[in-house]
Amino acid sequence: MTRKESGPFPSQERATVIFENEKKMATKKRASAKKNSPAVSPLTPEQTRAWVQTYGRHSRIYAWGFFALILPLIFGLIWWEMGEVNEDVLYSFGFAGTVTFLLAGWSRKQTTQSWVGVVEELFLKQVRVRRDGNQDDIAYSPRAIIRTQGGKALTLRLTEPLYEYFAPGDRVFKISGLDWPEKVELDRAERVCLACGDLYTQGAGHCPRCRAPEPDHEDLVRLAGF
């Protein structure tokens, strides 16, 4: 189990400097948000279970609501391109709607999965980002490979703070309806916001970035099946 980088990097030193600068900026933002946040108590176990259920329900509503809103837009674009409503427009709309539905379903499936596992590897994946002037730039996206209890290998995209937070060998879990994984044993002063993927200090009561409440960790572990 290792932490490594993937892809033909033009400069190892440049990649490290870029990533460290971005990490420092994220740390400053978290510190500023924490300073301006009022004190709030963490959730009780009962409140934690209620929040998990409510968050999952709202997530489903937002996802399928977005799908319902995007369909008229797709139809309007096809209609505008064709100039009239005819059989070709209806066929094109049906195809585009089906593809969008399948993509939405696949995306929801990733979010609604629950699993427990071990961090097997952390790495930076080289990706191309389109900049102004239609020129591609090189960026580095943090990733993790998780080996679940069932033996399945999952590759997760991480935020920059989570790339530094997790380490190979960490036992982690993810709960259905929530967006990010967390450690089974909290071994640092910070913990993961399961809504936005940022880090915040244990006992803060909520995430300074997205304002999501701080759930009871032991209850989350029980929900995960430990």
pLDDT at 48: 95
Give the rounded distance of the alpha carbon of 82 from its chain centre.
Answer: 38
Mean pLDDT, the chain, as a whole number?
A: 81
Q: Which of 205, 194, 196, 200 is CA-nearest to residue 172? A: 194
- CA gap 158, 26 in Å, rounded: 14
pLDDT grade for 123, boundaries at 50, 70 and 90: very high
pLDDT one-digit tens code per residue, 39-70: 578 999 999 999 998 988 777 777 767 777 88
Nearest-angstrom CA–CA distance, 4 and 69 = 41
What's the pTM?
Answer: 0.66
Whole-angstrom Cα distance, residue 20 to residue 32?
A: 19
**What is the percent of the chain with per-residue pLDDT over 70, rounded to a whole number?**
75
